[in-house]
Structure 1
Amino acid sequence: MPPETTGRAIFISYRRDDAEGEAGRLFDDLVRAFDEKSVFMDVAGIQPGSDFRKAIDQNVASCGVLLAIVGPHWASITDAQGNHRLENDNDFVRLEIASALTRNVPVIPVLVHEAKMPSADVLPENLKDFSYRNSVELTHARWNSDVALLVEALRSYVHVAKEHETEPIHATVPVQLPPPQPPQPDESASAKSRTPLFAGIAVAVLLAVGAGVFAATHHSQQPAQTAPSPVPAPAPVTPPAPESAALTPFIGRWQNTAQLTPKDSLLRLVVSNGGSQMLVHAYGKCEAGPCDWGTQPAIVDGSKAVTSAYQLRNNPQEVQLERSATLTLEPSADGLGVTITNSYQDAGTHPPGKALTYTFARATGS
């Protein structure tokens, strides 16, 4: 494989007729957040003359995570003969996602344009597991914040040098430019204009002398007016810094200390400071192995922090019941107490179960 296409940690898969604009915009943001060598954008990085099937398989094998950009027509787009592209064994998108699923590479569906996850019955056999992957959504209205959450979630998959790590940059305020330099005077023009300049200076001196004589001989009877004191400009307002001290007990990598059974869900947490909010990336222990819950913001209230709801679709039952879960985190001398509260779309037929509480310990090196 060509050296420039090796070792890409993030693989972006998309359909040009479905979400090319969003894929390109996300690619630019991820390159800014990590570096160009850590992001591979499907066939755009395959050299002419290469076997695209082998190139795709090799690039997927070397990546840490695959992002599948799903627009509203992702599963229904057809070729020139009217056949669904997903039914073609050599469809690029099918090859990319199937290769990742076969190699147990994490696959994150990224929904754009209010797209919905495709159900398993519309997918070919080697893509059916894709319908059970927990998805994230990118919207035009919240693009910057949505991408920031995605970037934070991807940090556990991507390994780049510290000097390349940065956040996506989106200019939302005017940029302060230095004042323009005054034009340098032309020497020849300056020489030609000296005579009228001297004449003007002489006239100004005569006028000043005359004004002085007039002022000395005609004292005003009006009392001298005191110049008003200048009003000081208001001091600039500095925005309050995030209360990072309040987040310190939560920040870090945490591991569940309980002996988990296949039905138990929460395995580990990665808690980070997202700048204006705390972010909690959760990983579960599903029946088929580890699964990614995704990242949600959390609100700190006193000694506790409560996350937004995770939309869990890691098995057919969760898909059917539309399971949601919130986490309550509370640091203690023993570690981090984590309480899971489940809810379901149809609470009448499947009411929420009792809350489950676990004790998490800091992972080694956290």
Structure 2
Amino acid sequence: MASGKIFISYRREDTSGESGRLKDKLEQVFGQENIFYDVETLEAGLNFDQSIAKALGESKVLLAMIGPHWLKVVDSKGVSRLQKPDDWVRKEIAEALKRELRVIPVLVNGAEMPDPEDLPEELKELSLKHAQELTSSRWNYDVGELTKVLEKIITKKPQPTPDPIRSDNPQRPVVPPVPQPKSWWAKNYLWMIGGLVGFLILIGMCVPDDLDTYPEYQEQASTDFDQEANIIPESASGTDLHENDQNSGQFIPDISGEWDLYLNGQKVSVLAFSQNGADVAYYEYDLLDTRTAEGQGKVAGTDLLVDYYNTTLNVNGTISMSTDDDGLTWYGIINFPVSGFTGTVNIRKTNP
């Protein structure tokens, strides 16, 4: 398989949009450095004629983009552009044929191959070439068929080393699990249960038989007992608690797993969280399962604050959220200080 570039020849008045769209697709397969597209590839101040000749000298394939108006485009005097010797499209294709490059006519949006009598002498060979079609209604399929042809001629760009694969989704790398330390309650629950039983026995021995005749005392004793036994308040009973901070007594919600991220009310991505107590880390994936961002931060009670780094756009920001439904949903803002952009965000458990 030979290396080289793909030269895209087109008329701005005819196939500019389709040519740019095709260029983007081909860059994903063969790399930006292997695509010559004059609008973006030529540097300012260079001799256009010499640059085109140099680019064709480095190319293996020329794609002649032919739309419905390819033959009909005229200059300010009404003369057909293709019939003018100094027309750049004519020069590009003629030079490619002269160099014996692979010239592939690409028929866009129902265009037909031009008849030999409609072409200048130096382009008549073009009418003998087998063409590829590109249509808007089946764009991905048509581009795929063209790519198969080009892969036989042009070297594809190296594929990046894949991340570890997750069994439930082979397209998405695994978020490295964070070791989960035992909570204070998990370490000491046997002692607490033993102390509670002993306390109940002591209460039974000390409380007088006629205690129920003193309702005020009975209510106070129950309150003191709840506080002394460190019973979880009823308001936290619906929360999936990850860890109990022994020093602050603050319960930390468990946010590990996958959450749908909504920006200004529109679902835009998925956050995959891992958690170690109050410390959290995450990867973000767009709706095509491509990793686009990552970050880390802390969760404490009803507050969640994480750094945000977009690996696609190379920008930093922060996400600040809180919850009012025991950690089932989080609401807040995302902020990019450099650009000044601020948007409202919320996350919901992907598979609650």
TM-score by length of 2: 0.46
- From the two aligned structures, give the one with the greater strand fraction: 2
TM-score by length of 1: 0.44
